[in-house]
Structure 1
Amino acid sequence: MRFLAPVFAAALVLVLSACNAQIPGQESERMGIAPLLTSEQAFDDQTFAQPQVARVTHVDLDLAMDFDAKTIGGTATLDVLAADDATEIVLDSNGLQIASIADEAGNALEYEMGEMEEGKGAPLTVQLPATKLERPADLPEGELANTHRIVVTYTSAPDAEALQWLSPEQTAGGEHPFVFSQGQAINNRTWIPTQDSPGIRQTWEATVTAPEPLNIVMSGVVEGDPEAAGEGRRAFTFVMDKPVPPYLIAIAAGNIEFAELGPRSGVWAEPEVLEAAAEEVGDTEEMIDAGEKLFGEYRWGRYDMIVLPPAFPYGGMENPVMTFLTPTFIAGDRSNNGLIAHELAHSWSGNLTTYSSWRDGWLNEGVTSYIESRITEEVYGKARAEQEYALSYASLAEGIEQAGADNPNTAMRTPDEISPFDTQGVAIYDKGTVFLKTVENIVGREKFDAWLTSWFDRHAFQPVTSEMMLADMRENLVQGDEELEERLMLDEWVYGTGLPENAWKPSAEAFAAVDSAAAAYAADGTLPGADAWSKWTAAEQRRFLEELPEELTAEQLAALDSTLGLSKTGNNEVLFLWLEAALRNEYQPAVPQAEAFLGRVGRNKFVAPLFAALNGTDWGKPIAQRIYADTRGGYHAYTRSNVDAMLGYEGEAEAAES
């Protein structure tokens, strides 16, 4: 990190003004160039880019999908804003196969691919063209002054970590292949040559071809209908005229169809899944209205979603105008729709205002989780929201207890001495939620809501940092009130470890009946009746299962399953908790169901813990190895990397040696 510190100290570039360049096919003008932050907290140590010297402001992709080769290739035309004395621009690459780099007229430009760094890729340094584009009219004197355009011709590698290529057999229909991308955190550099850093926001457009009859969706607004591209292919065109962090450029293609939900929302899915998916997300328009009521205008136009095949490694990904979703959230009763509320909430926190550095993960996820709870309260009622908050608080408390209250991994802003990707998930999501809930209850909801809405308005489509949010809180919320400042404990929350003493505790009534039932079971094995269990919410069922004793006998597990019908539940969150309890206690009857579950689900939240439960006992280790050998090929690279490390997987190496 430190090697660029002098450059940052000397950098004069603080904010770049608007550049109104027209996007072909768009009636409205492209939004302005997003500000560039140069404070030390804004520094992103996960990129090779030097944006204070030269940075990408717009990406124009012209690509073709090759399902046989498992590659995407074509050209990326980059608009570059550079300092007067800049002669080169540094891009991020991880496995990109570069064919050529030229200026807009086709004249070759010199470039060099640097040394590979594990997990980060390599710097791609390109000499800037001698010719310059017209200087943006609204760019003030003294800012990065020169604009250039470079054209990179390239192909992604077959093993690009951002792209998951599925065979027809891995889809619901079983007839056509499928591909989807997952850019966050730093994977988009495996299929797009750009500066892959959240603080370097870029507008973009793309034309992509795929074989018929596949449909393509992207995290941009589609332009017209697909057009014939020859040789049985069709071309799809998309535009994102708002500057976004590069990790939010996303793509998916397969045999998918669309169902309209409301005037500005809809869902894509394979035909076999579409009806169930549309029913499950039927509250989406109401959620959008709730978000606007709480925190201001929804600025993205449409809110569409795609339910992906099970290999998708996350619950959801907040790609603008096209949220990516796991099918595992479909329960038939909308009980897991907190996921939709969460991804929608990113339309304000994460997408509208985005952390400049991965060390500020809570600014995206913690703030979003708080907004999720508020949307949940508006749509589903206070009781459900309080239960979700209680689960979040319990998860945070447990995570801190396991890690230790002084563990740097429990700080919301990741300290410099550790990787930003080592911070505990509960510190990014749950601690951020509890922090904002605490502030809300100290200052009052009306005052807090007005401040948070104004925060989004002041920093819309801009990168932000922890220091910026704390300064904004002090100026516009604390307003010099020393007693309030002391009560809020702002710095301790953001930079400190553990759980601050002023944390707002959940209502004791949220799970009163469930906690009483859990205590009774722990004391003498008394189970809630099947009728009572069926009337509990999914959150209440999860709470009970999370409170089960760590050690259970085969007889106890059999009774739990037969009385509560756990192995027959349609809610994957509940099913996962049952399987985890069964596997950690060496319950053989659960193995076939766990094997089937791990064979159809690729969500890391479920897969990694179940393999960990198996791998934690001598009984389970060979079972884990056997199941993983069969299921590994269907998992996304993110899920594979986690389980590979856990199991010491050497299957590929052994295959190569043989």
Structure 2
Amino acid sequence: MRRTHGRLRPALAVAVAAALVFTSCTEGDERGGFRPGAADLADPYVPGAGNGGYDVDNYRLAVRYDPPTDRLTGRAVVTATATAPLSRFSLDLAGLDVSRVTVDGGPAGSARDGDELVVIPPDGLPRGTRFTVEVDYAGVPAVRADGQLGSGGFLHTDDGAIALGQPWSAAAWFPVNDHPADKATYDIEVTVPDGLAALSNGVPGERTRADGWTTWRWAERAPMASYLTTLVIGDYRVQTGTHAGRPMVTAVPASLPAAGPEAASLARTGEIADFLASRFGPYPFDSYGGVVVTDGRVGYALETQSRPVYGPGFFRGGRPNPGVVAHELAHQWFGNSVALSRWRDIWLNEGFASYAEWLWEEHDGGRTAQRTFELEYAATDWSRPVVDPGRSGLFGTAVYKRGALTVHALRRTVGDDTFFRILRTWTAERRGGNATTEDLIALAERVSGKSLRPFFDAWLVGGTAPALP
């Protein structure tokens, strides 16, 4: 981020049994050693988000969206592994109506509890069992207008829709374990009226047409946090090519000039990614790209995996803005490939991405990283911590700016060679996984051979300006 008398029919019998099981489970009645999976991962920054008792391996999503009615219909096939003996489990799903749920191909019970879809398999799922949940659903997707960044979720637009937002968006358009602690691979199929583009994450697949509708296919084979998924549907000029042997897909609204600052900025995606790879290690995904949107409710850019989305505010000056491209591309390493375990450590995303802006500016002939460090150091409010900044500070200045100051101060403390070795070791060893601030500190101490706890305490949480290294 940059800122239903007689004998019950089988399906009905399952539904009734499901309701009974749901009630008994909520009352704490455990049978056969199985128990309900948690309906909340207890991350205080995103109350209610995420679920326990299983780990998702893959989402296979097939959705159809009709812009004139703002109606979405979908089928989600979720492949997961039980991490506890489950009598039931939950998926996050906001607002949409569910018509059918199966587990491993057989009818399953379900119930709604707010933004949770509770799934009750006919038999308990032992720990270690790999299982598949299929959900058919439909409705008008939800918009969340009270997020810290503004509107998020599924935004209906004049010519289509935008599914976007941090830390919440995915549950607006598919059933999901909606927390970055549970990353998964994705196969996404989006059907829209002919003439509209349907952009998403990963490698583009075969595009097919039938009866006035076009189906766009995308595949993201690297594990991805749910908030990094996106759909952008509308009238777009889509440019498809390759870079470094991988697909490059960029898109700008057809309403914008073909040679405008938006297109010019996206055109530098490959160049900027290559520069960052020289500092951070190999680019971690199988495709590149970016999408510009013009909806004013999107007052931010978001590092949606492999294909960042840029809001209109970054180009209002009429000039290209490679800095925001550098920021969102840096997230492909810091935040996407190496993802958060808990939102309290969001500086691991934003501090490093902000620092990447400094590095790119210097490389592109502008101000040096050291000079930017000096200016930001003088302007910083040191009373605001970087780690665990509070929900209201999730996207605050301290996370971005003081986070970047910490990164540069680490560089000055350990020296350039060791610093970039720390970064490349971090992105290599943690690739495709999750991490915490404690993990970073331990790795930095191991690579540098130095005791760095006092350094990180001073720069990340100390209440006064730390001594300059």
Residue equivalent to 2:27: none
CA distance in 1, matches of 2:240, 2:377: 36
Report the Cα offset of residue 215 of structure 1.
1.0
1:479-498 correspondence runs (5 A)? 479=449, 481-482=450-451, 485=452, 489-494=455-460, 496-498=461-463
Q: Does the aligned pair in 1 maintain the 2:51–2:178 contact within 8 Å?
A: no
Report the Cα offset of residue 67 of structure 1.
1.3
1:18-33 correspondence runs (5 A)? none
Residue equivalent to 1:46: 47
Residue equivalent to 2:407: 436
- Judged with a 3 Å threshold, the aligned counterparts in structure 2 of structure 1 residues 262 and 112 are, in CA distance, closer, same or farther, namely closer
Report the Cα offset of residue 425 of structure 1.
1.0
1:385-424 correspondence runs (5 A)? 385=369, 388-389=372-373, 392-393=376-377, 396-397=380-381, 400=382, 405=383, 410-414=384-388, 418=390, 420-423=391-394
Pairing partner for 2:467 from 502, 513, 517: 502
- Judged with a 3 Å threshold, the aligned counterparts in structure 2 of structure 1 residues 68 and 97 are, in CA distance, closer, same or farther, namely same
CA distance in 2, matches of 1:344, 1:395: 26
Higher relative contact order (CA 8 A, sep 6+): 2
- Judged with a 3 Å threshold, the aligned counterparts in structure 2 of structure 1 residues 47 and 462 are, in CA distance, closer, same or farther, namely farther
Q: What is the identity, as a one-letter code, of the residue corresponding to 2:178?
A: D
Report the Cα offset of residue 45 of structure 1.
5.4
Are residue 63 (structure 1) and residue 43 (structure 2) matched? no
Residue equivalent to 1:123: 116
CA distance in 2, matches of 1:259, 1:48: 35
Deviation readout 1:546-603 (Å, 9 max, x if unpaired)? xxxxxxxxxxxxxxxxxxxxxxxxxxxxxxxxxxxxxxxxxxxxxxxxxxxxxxxxxx
Deviation readout 1:241-271 (Å, 9 max, x if unpaired)? 1111111110101111123686354521123
Residue equivalent to 2:29: none
CA distance in 2, matches of 1:439, 1:160: 40
- Judged with a 3 Å threshold, the aligned counterparts in structure 2 of structure 1 residues 190 and 394 are, in CA distance, closer, same or farther, namely farther
Deviation readout 1:463-482 (Å, 9 max, x if unpaired)? 111121122222222x2x45
Helix, strand or coil for the counterpart of 1:502?
Answer: coil
Pairing partner for 1:472 from 419, 423, 443: 443
Residue equivalent to 2:365: 381
Residue equivalent to 2:111: 112
Q: Does the aligned pair in 2 maintain the 1:79–1:148 contact within 8 Å?
A: yes
Q: Does the aligned pair in 1 maintain the 2:418–2:447 contact within 8 Å?
A: no
- Judged with a 3 Å threshold, the aligned counterparts in structure 2 of structure 1 residues 210 and 131 are, in CA distance, closer, same or farther, namely farther
Helix, strand or coil for the counterpart of 1:196?
Answer: coil
Report the Cα offset of residue 102 of structure 1.
1.5
1:132-147 correspondence runs (5 A)? 144-147=127-130
CA distance in 2, matches of 1:77, 1:304: 26
The structure number with the bigger radius of gyration is: 1
Residue equivalent to 1:199: 181
CA distance in 1, matches of 2:94, 2:289: 30
Pairing partner for 1:344 from 323, 329, 333: 329
Q: What is the identity, as a one-letter code, of the residue corresponding to 1:55?
A: D
Report the Cα offset of residue 369 of structure 1.
1.1
CA distance in 2, matches of 1:208, 1:323: 18
Residue equivalent to 2:190: 208
Pairing partner for 1:458 from 417, 423, 429: 429
Are residue 246 (structure 1) and residue 226 (structure 2) matched? yes
Residue equivalent to 1:521: none
- Judged with a 3 Å threshold, the aligned counterparts in structure 2 of structure 1 residues 101 and 394 are, in CA distance, closer, same or farther, namely farther
1:543-582 correspondence runs (5 A)? none
Q: What is the identity, as a one-letter code, of the residue corresponding to 2:253?
A: E
Report the Cα offset of residue 462 of structure 1.
0.3
What is the TM-score when the length of structure 1 is the normalising length?
Answer: 0.59
Q: Does the aligned pair in 2 maintain the 1:329–1:337 contact within 8 Å?
A: no
Unaligned ranges ≥5, structure 1: 1-39, 117-121, 133-142, 168-176, 505-658
Q: What is the identity, as a one-letter code, of the residue corresponding to 1:427?
A: A
CA distance in 2, matches of 1:349, 1:237: 26
CA distance in 1, matches of 2:139, 2:223: 24
- Judged with a 3 Å threshold, the aligned counterparts in structure 2 of structure 1 residues 131 and 212 are, in CA distance, closer, same or farther, namely farther
Name the structure with the higher strand share: 2
- Judged with a 3 Å threshold, the aligned counterparts in structure 2 of structure 1 residues 497 and 246 are, in CA distance, closer, same or farther, namely same
Give aligned pairs, total: 415
- Give the share of equivalent positions with the same residue, in percent: 23
CA distance in 1, matches of 2:400, 2:42: 20
Deviation readout 1:158-189 (Å, 9 max, x if unpaired)? 4433111112xxxxxxxxx1311113112221
Q: What is the identity, as a one-letter code, of the residue corresponding to 1:233?
A: W
Q: Does the aligned pair in 2 maintain the 1:280–1:332 contact within 8 Å?
A: no
Residue equivalent to 1:447: 418
Residue equivalent to 1:234: 214
Q: Does the aligned pair in 2 maintain the 1:227–1:234 contact within 8 Å?
A: yes
Report the Cα offset of residue 126 of structure 1.
0.9
- Judged with a 3 Å threshold, the aligned counterparts in structure 2 of structure 1 residues 500 and 475 are, in CA distance, closer, same or farther, namely farther
1:229-378 correspondence runs (5 A)? 229-230=210-211, 232-259=212-239, 263=243, 265-273=248-256, 274-276=258-260, 277-330=262-315, 331-334=317-320, 336-378=321-363
Helix, strand or coil for the counterpart of 1:81?
Answer: strand
CA distance in 2, matches of 1:413, 1:237: 38
CA distance in 2, matches of 1:377, 1:474: 27
Residue equivalent to 1:219: 201
1:507-656 correspondence runs (5 A)? none
- Judged with a 3 Å threshold, the aligned counterparts in structure 2 of structure 1 residues 346 and 298 are, in CA distance, closer, same or farther, namely same
Pairing partner for 2:134 from 146, 151, 154: 151
CA distance in 2, matches of 1:306, 1:457: 27
Q: Does the aligned pair in 1 maintain the 2:385–2:398 contact within 8 Å?
A: yes
Q: Does the aligned pair in 2 maintain the 1:109–1:129 contact within 8 Å?
A: yes
Helix, strand or coil for the counterpart of 1:501?
Answer: coil
Quote the RMSD (CA, aligned, Å): 2.7
Q: Does the aligned pair in 1 maintain the 2:421–2:447 contact within 8 Å?
A: no
Q: Does the aligned pair in 1 maintain the 2:299–2:312 contact within 8 Å?
A: no
Report the Cα offset of residue 390 of structure 1.
5.3
Q: What is the identity, as a one-letter code, of the residue corresponding to 1:86?
A: L
Name the structure with the higher helix share: 1
Report the Cα offset of residue 314 of structure 1.
3.2
Q: What is the identity, as a one-letter code, of the residue corresponding to 1:501?
A: P
- Judged with a 3 Å threshold, the aligned counterparts in structure 2 of structure 1 residues 158 and 291 are, in CA distance, closer, same or farther, namely closer
Pairing partner for 1:166 from 149, 152, 157: 157
Report the Cα offset of residue 338 of structure 1.
0.8
CA distance in 2, matches of 1:209, 1:326: 24
Helix, strand or coil for the counterpart of 1:76?
Answer: strand
Q: Does the aligned pair in 1 maintain the 2:157–2:295 contact within 8 Å?
A: no
Q: What is the identity, as a one-letter code, of the residue corresponding to 2:337?
A: L
Deviation readout 1:174-208 (Å, 9 max, x if unpaired)? xxx13111131122212121110011001111111
CA distance in 2, matches of 1:396, 1:41: 32
Report the Cα offset of residue 154 of structure 1.
1.2
Residue equivalent to 2:35: none
CA distance in 1, matches of 2:341, 2:327: 21
Report the Cα offset of residue 90 of structure 1.
1.8
Unaligned ranges ≥5, structure 2: 1-40, 145-152
Helix, strand or coil for the counterpart of 1:87?
Answer: strand
- Judged with a 3 Å threshold, the aligned counterparts in structure 2 of structure 1 residues 395 and 190 are, in CA distance, closer, same or farther, namely farther
Are residue 182 (structure 1) and residue 164 (structure 2) matched? yes
Report the Cα offset of residue 99 of structure 1.
2.0
